[in-house]
Each structure stands twice: as C-alpha cells, then as structure tokens.
Amino acid sequence: MMDRQLPWLIAGLGNPGKDYAQTRHNIGYLVTDLLAERMGERFTKHRRAHADSVEGRLDGTRAVLIRSRSYMNESGAAIRAAADYSNIPISQIIVVHDELDIEFGAIKIKVGGGDGGHNGIKSTKKSLGSGDFYRVRVGIGRPPGRQDPADYVLRSFGSSERKELPLVVDSAADAVEVIINEGIAVAQNRYHSK
C-alpha cells in the first residue's frame, strides 16, 4: 500500500564507468538520468549508500533516484542502504532495468516475480529479502545468432536502436511517473499495449 508521506525510491540498474555508459545493460541508468533532468537536479554521492542519488519531486511526488556505484551483480546493497536511509518500504521501490526476453523498445511493468537470470534483480531481491518491488522492464531483445547474452548486454546499441533509444527512455521514464502518481494498473494498461 502506498504511503503518500514517504518518497518513492527509483533505482536505475547499470554498471558504473564510461566504458558501460551506452550499453544495453545500462538502460536503467539512462532512464534515471532523464528523470533527474525532469526534476531539474543532478546526481551527487549518496550520504549512506554506495551510489549516486537525486532527491526531488516528479510531477509533485517526492522521489529519490539512485544509481549504484557497484557493478550490476552487487547493486542490491546500494538499493537497500538508500531505502533504509530514507525509510522507504519495499512497496514504494521501483527498479528500472533491461530485459532480454522483451523485444527492443517494449516496456513491461510488474511487481514481484523471479529474477529471470538478471544479476541486478537477483542482487536486489537478496538485499531486500523479497522480490516484491515494482519493476519497469525495458526490452532490449535477444542477441542475434549464437551471440552470448552476457556479451550482448555489455555492447552498445545498434545504429537503428540508437535512433529509437531516446523515445524508449522517455516512455520508460513516463511509466515510472505513471506508477507513482496513478498506480500500476494504469501504467500497465498504458504501456503494455504499445
């Protein structure tokens, strides 16, 4: 159940550093970058979590954005530390991440479920002690041919994908705002149909 007195925590999953900045695995970072821009704020070092964060309002609703400074497979600890610091319950945590099993550009929203082999989700579930957080899953599609999925997610988007990427990131950021202001059912109805 939502508590309007407490802020939302929105965690964008990715890997730190310039080498990973424009890779498929970092789409969560790209979405939180856009949300920070919408807030008119910049990321700074979080007081307690090993992460960068922004605090502000998204369409009038208090929110904390975070990006772990650890690699994907250890990102859950920063999410837990940020949630504990701001007293944010799991019911008001949204994790934005890439999803191999969804076609590029599609967005799916859910609460709970397995980790689907995603190391960032696996780490988050372990750190929070539950998987019952919101997930904005941004499709990156399966790798072509026999390319290793681990190699595929760490590569930059293709040229045709790069043209569409700003619209995809914009839609994912919109989906986050709809969840916090209108609820998951509205967000699912609006974004799953695309």
Active site residues: 25
- Bridging pattern class, strands 134-139 and 93-99: parallel
Region of residue 36 (left: phi > 0; alpha: psi -120 to 50; beta: else): alpha
DSSP 102: S
CA pair distance 25, 11, nearest whole angstrom: 14
| Tokens read off for 173 | 């950021």
CA pair distance 172, 105, nearest whole angstrom: 9
- Bridging pattern class, strands 44-45 and 51-58: antiparallel
CA pair distance 98, 118, nearest whole angstrom: 9
